[in-house]
Structure 1
Amino acid sequence: MCELLAVSTSQPARLAFSLHTLAARGSPTGGTRDGWGVAFYQGEDVALYREPGAAGDSALVTFLESHGPATGLAISHIRHATQGSVRLANTQPFVRQLAGRAHVFAHNGNLLGIEARDALGAGRWQPVGDTDSERAFCALLARVEPLWAAAAVPALLERLPLLADFAADLRRLGPANFLYSDGDALFAHGHRRIQPALGRIEPPGLWTLQRHCAGGDEPPQCQGGVSIMDGDGGRTVQCVASVPLTDEAWRPLAEGELLAVRGGELLARRLPD
Structure 2
Amino acid sequence: MCELFCLSSCLPTRATFSLKAFAAHGAPGGRNVDGWGLAFHDGRDVRLYKEPEPATDSSWLGFIQGRHLPTRILISHIRHALGGGVTLANTQPFVRELGGRAHAFAHNGFLNGIQGEVGRSSARFRPVGETDSEMAFCLLLERFSRLWENGSTPALPLRLAVLAKFAEDMRALGPANFLYSDGDFIFGHGHRRTQANGTIEPPGLWCLQRECAVDPGAMASAGVNVEPGGETQRIALLASVPLSSERWCPLGEGEIVVLADGRVISSGLPSSRSQTHMAGITSTMSAVDDPMLTPPA
TM-score range for the pair, normalised by the shorter chain length: over 0.9
Which letter does structure 2 place at the counterpart of 1:226? V
**Equivalent pair of 1:7/1:17 in contact (CA under 8 Å):** no
Which secondary structure does the structure 2 equivalent of 1:184 belong to?
coil
Aligned partners of 1:120, 1:33: CA distance in 2, in Å?
33
Which letter does structure 1 place at the counterpart of 2:152? A
**Equivalent pair of 2:21/2:224 in contact (CA under 8 Å):** no
Q: In the alignment, what sits opposite 1:220?
A: 216
TM-score in terms of structure 2 length: 0.86
Which secondary structure does the structure 2 equivalent of 1:24 belong to?
helix
- The alpha-carbon deviation at position 64 of structure 1 amounts to 2.2
Aligned partners of 1:124, 1:61: CA distance in 2, in Å?
33
- The alpha-carbon deviation at position 113 of structure 1 amounts to 1.4
Matched, 1:264 2:262: yes
Choose 249-258 or 206-215, whichever is displaced more. 206-215
The correspondence of residues 14-93 of structure 1 with structure 2, limited to 5 A, is 14-93=14-93
Q: Would the alpha carbon gap of residues 214 and 41 (structure 1) be closer, same or farther in structure 2, given more than 3 Å must change? A: same
- The alpha-carbon deviation at position 270 of structure 1 amounts to 2.0
Which of 238, 250, 253 does residue 252 from structure 1 map onto? 250
The number of residues matched between the two structures is 269
Q: Would the alpha carbon gap of residues 97 and 176 (structure 1) be closer, same or farther in structure 2, given more than 3 Å must change? A: same
Give CA-to-partner distance per residue, 1:86-117, whole Å, 9 cap, x none.
00000000000111111000000011111013
Aligned partners of 1:222, 1:180: CA distance in 2, in Å?
27
Which secondary structure does the structure 2 equivalent of 1:31 belong to?
coil
Aligned partners of 1:102, 1:222: CA distance in 2, in Å?
32
Q: Would the alpha carbon gap of residues 60 and 222 (structure 1) be closer, same or farther in structure 2, given more than 3 Å must change? A: farther
Give CA-to-partner distance per residue, 1:164-221, whole Å, 9 cap, x none.
110010011110000001111100000000011x211110000000010029xxx934
- The alpha-carbon deviation at position 255 of structure 1 amounts to 0.2
Which secondary structure does the structure 1 equivalent of 2:225 belong to?
strand
- The alpha-carbon deviation at position 59 of structure 1 amounts to 1.2
Kindly, what percent of the aligned residue pairs are identical? Answer: 53
**Equivalent pair of 1:190/1:205 in contact (CA under 8 Å):** yes
Give CA-to-partner distance per residue, 1:58-78, whole Å, 9 cap, x none.
111233234341100100000
* Ranges in structure 1 where 5+ consecutive residues have no aligned partner: none
Q: In the alignment, what sits opposite 1:182?
A: 182
The correspondence of residues 69-148 of structure 1 with structure 2, limited to 5 A, is 69-117=69-117, 121=121, 123-148=123-148
Q: In the alignment, what sits opposite 1:202?
A: 201
**Equivalent pair of 2:12/2:70 in contact (CA under 8 Å):** yes
Aligned partners of 2:119, 2:168: CA distance in 1, in Å?
11
* Ranges in structure 2 where 5+ consecutive residues have no aligned partner: 272-297
Aligned partners of 1:252, 1:93: CA distance in 2, in Å?
22
**Equivalent pair of 1:120/1:139 in contact (CA under 8 Å):** no
